Structure 1
Amino acid sequence: MAEGNGLSYKARRRWALVILLVGMPVYIVAAVTVMNWLDRPPLWLELLIYVALGVVWVLPFKFVFRGVGKEDPDADQK
């Protein structure tokens, strides 16, 4: 188990795929829905909010995405 987070490389890859294919679209719909409920802010503020929301969604999942694009570290051991 790499990096001491309890998830194997293959598990992190699978979770990353689920997060990107399911979680991200749900988050986008939720963010746009909440923004539509608000009174229309100035364009610069709206852009700033969308940029912030675009960065904030990944913070809880940073450990899942770390190292996923690299080769499997466990493959050398087998």
Structure 2
Amino acid sequence: MAQAIHVPAARIKDILHGSQEITADISLRLAKFFGVSDSYFFNLQSDIDLRDAKKHLSRDLSAIKLFTEVQAKNK
């Protein structure tokens, strides 16, 4: 696959092992190779990033009040 999309095999291995993220460049190459939308793999990476951030920030996020709650409190 790496040869077919013109990238080093180590780059694909790093993505599969989670030590490198899917960039726009790789997303476009993989999309062309697999015949899916240009954003398919990029969106997968975004989903992973959001999941990881949510896990990391769970305590902070739980302390944030909704805008409507803050607004009602300030009236």
The two structures have a TM-score, normalised by structure 1, of: 0.32
Instruction: Return the index of the structure with the highest Cα Rg.
Output: 2
Tell me: higher relative CO, structure 1 or 2? Use CA pairs within 8 A at least 6 residues apart: 1
The two structures have a TM-score, normalised by structure 2, of: 0.33
